[in-house]
Structure formats: C-alpha cells, structure tokens
Structure 1
C-alpha cells in the first residue's frame, strides 16, 4: 500500500526533542491500513470513526498531537457522548496507538520557552505513525488472504458443478455448498478444496467407475468380461467381506505397504501395528487413524492405509482421502474386500 499525499510532518516543533523534522508520513494511508486491519486489534467501526475525527485535527507542520477538547472531538465524530469517546481513547492507549501527555489542569495546549524548546500537552498520535510499516504489512496480508479466498472459492464452485454433472445427488455437494454459505478462513477453503478433489479420486476408485473397468471385482471374471448386470453388482456388495480380508491376501496384494517392513505380517495385530506406523508417513494423523479404527474397526482402517498406499500416485492427498472413506461421506461406500479383489486381478493381468 503506497504512502501518498496529503502528509503530516512528524514533529511537535522544529526544535522539539525526539522529533523527526525531516521525515513526512501519509497519515491517512496509515489510517486506511489500520481500518482494513481493525479486526486483528478487536476494533469496531465506531473506534475507527473516532480516530478519523482526531486525525482531522492535525495540521501539516504542527506535529502529531491532538489539542482539541473532548467536546470538539465528539462533535466531529457525529455527536457521540463523552464517555464513549473516553472508552475509545482508552482502547487506543491500550493498543499503543496513542499516548496521553496530560497537563496539570488536564487542558490540551503547547508551550514554548524563549530558546525554542516546546512541550505539548494532549493526545499524541506519534506511536501510530511509528507503527506505519507494521500496519501497512498487516493490511496487505489481509488483502492477499481475501484474494486467495475468492480464488479458492471459485475453484471449489467449479469442481462442485462438475460433480453435479456426474451425480447431482451426491451428499458431499450439499454439505459443501452449505459450508460455503459461511465466511470461511483460508485454511478452511483449502481443506474444502482438498475434500472436493478427494471426491473425484474416490469416484474413480469405485468398482463401477468407467476408468477402473479394467479391474473387475469378481474373481471369476477376466478383463474380457467387464460388463456386469445390476443384480450381480448388488449381490457382490452384499457379500460378506471377512473371507477376503485374510492377512496373507492383503499383504500379497498391497506389496507397497509390505515393502516398508522387514518383519513378516502374519496376523491382523501385525498389520494394524504396521498401519499405525505407515499412517504418519503418509500424512494421516495418528489421531485420525484411531478415530477411524473406533468408527469402522481396526481391520478396515488398516486396509484403508494399505490400499491407499498401493494406489500410489493416483491419490493426491492420503490424509484427506483416508478421512473421507473412513470418517467422512464415503464411509458407508468403502469396501476393502472389493478393492483388494480389483487390485489382485489387476496384478494378475499385468504380469
């Protein structure tokens, strides 16, 4: 934010102590920076109006002290009562933007000696001017965040529109649009965008998705028999998964996870312990893994870790996808047995 005219010379007088007579500052540029960053200091619009009124009493070349009476300031603000004015001034003093230089009778004025020394009694705005760089930097950061939030929001809306074309009944779309009604932080926008990306990835991992038709979920089928009736697909989804979730099958199919240990994974206890070791390495928080284990069972949560690692580069954000299929919208659709079947068939046909 450029500092432009009009400017106020920062000096009580040419011979005042601790004054910088040679420098000038755009006091209204500083005011606008504080106005834009007021939320960081818990300032309300009424505080900003009071500060604006006080700044209007400063004159170029006459220093940074406000000599106007409380009555004059109240009138310039718009007729606020004096108690409100005092509260506002106290708040600026607490924040270090104003210092009081009180005279013995609480009047505001300036006195000079015969040799030119000057003493100013009033409300000094010198601290505000000295923090110009800080306030401008904060205002710029807020503006950058605002622009980034708009950019991320547009990306999310575009992806949601694409998801609606694929399946307008997807509950994720409804929840995402509901979240967008609120004023989100930059980190919340990024998380929502990651979740939207995860939806696309998870759709591509579904057994009936077109791009994954080369991985049929039925052991009795080959790549040449990719088509299945709706009845067969429903029967497959109703088939209990436990017979397919044997430790030997999981470790042989998901060899990427198994390659990260020199110990043999003989049972589900070994697999669960290894999954807990792999999760942080993949960006999955240990607490998220334990929550998933409590929600869907430790076997299913461990399978999720092994399967996601096996998919490798097809998964952009392991943490987001793990949360979605174990704790999020895709929890009920996550079928480790079917995915392991597809991976096993894909491995056979690739050799």
Structure 2
C-alpha cells in the first residue's frame, strides 16, 4: 500500500515477501536470528522464476531502502552454521531486523496513504455530484467541460487533477445558478393578473385513478423507489390523490412554491409531477437547490425532453 513512500516497486515487494517465507515463524522475534539464507536459485523459484540478474537488482533496492542488511560470509555464499547442540548457529544471508525496527514507521506510512486515498475518493465523489448538478441545470449537456470530466472520471486521477476539475466546474455551476436565480426573479415579477391565475391553477389536481399512461410511472414504482415519502403521509400513499397531496405539502417544505408546482403540473401532468417531486424529496441530501432543479426539469418537460419514468428508473438503478 505504501510502497511508493519508500520508493519500492511491486516486484521489489514481491522479492521481500518471498524472503519472508524463508523465516521459520510467522512473526519476527528480536530474540531470535532474523537472517534468511536462500540461494539465488531457490529464491528465484519462490518468485515464479525471476531471472537472477533481476533478482539481484531488486535485492539491492531493498538493501538501499533500508529494509534488509547483507550479512556476507567469507566466501560470499549464504548459509547457516550448526551449533554443537544442533540448533542454528551463525547465519550469513539477508538480515530482516530492519523490518522489525521500522514496523512503526511502515504502519504510519500505510495509514497516511490510506487516509490520502480516502480523501481522493471523497473528492472524486464530490466532483461526480457537482457534475450531475451542472448537467441537470444546463440546457446543453454536451458542453465540452462536462464531456471532458466524464471521461476523466473513468481514469485514475491525482488529487491535484481532481481539484483542478472541481475548480473549473465551480465556475460553470456559479454561472448556471446565477442564470436560474435571474430567471426566478423574472417569474416572480409577473403582474397581478398572472398572480391571480397562478393561485387559481395551483389548486390540487387529483388525477383520474382509472387511467395510467404508459409513459408515466406507476404508483407502485413511486412507492418502491421513493420510500421516504411514506413517512410524511399519515394514511399512506394508497392512491395518486394522497400522494399528490403529500408531495404538494412537502414541496413547500423544501422551497418549491405554489407557482413552480403549478408549472410542473402543467408541463408534466399531475401523475408525472407528483412522481418527480417524490423523487426530489428522496434525493434532498444530494440536491442543493430543489427549486432550481425542478425549474430546469419543467423547462425540459415543456420541450418534451423529460420523463419522470426515466428519472425514477435512474434513481432505482443508483439505489441498487
């Protein structure tokens, strides 16, 4: 995990692991001899037939990195003398003592690398969330910056690369949010006649229970994908009317006013609007500005570019 901290490659670590297999115990005990003495041929076989020239190079890396100490014999061979009682006497080969001495340092380096990897994962997740919000708020999802970031997220990225992409995307998001805020202010500045018509049209719509257009989600699908809505519905979402009434109330709680809700119903239809708002309630922890988000969906629905059934399908796939 932390091999790069010490300048070691995967193959060098493979040689070190092979050396450890020649130690008779699973743990390194400072009270015992920690010298292992396999021949190059034996060690080569243990690392799947690595050429001896390559093996010597990796052993040199381990010595220079301070993970091994050479204990050379007078004739340069690796072996252990036997004591009179039959136990192992003095050994010549590679001393593993540095591993024991540096155990704390190695563990600390591994923890640091893991923490950095976790931070990078979090930053990648944040970048993906920002990208999804920007794509939802943008009328042109083919913008080059979106395409570039989507491709980049398929690769291994450094924390510096992720930070640079988030900074670029932040500029785009700020512009999109400002544009939506301006559009919202323009809508609010309508005349008294428009306001009156808005109040007339914001009354609850109770769709006909006997019909279920094929391009709209079923009530069962909404219940399955958006279980959080049930906790806000005392009597349960037994029909579309109860779901409609519940999401209309919840919409006000997350900042969706009556005018925007009426526009959603007009653009999407009562069932689709109720299903869409149920999905927004389910995703409140992810969507920073539900009102702006729904405004974009309404605009797409007016141009025939939005489907609540597809939206629920995507949410269901994300949950599985």
**TM-score, scaled to structure 1:** 0.46
Q: Normalising by structure 2, what TM-score?
A: 0.50
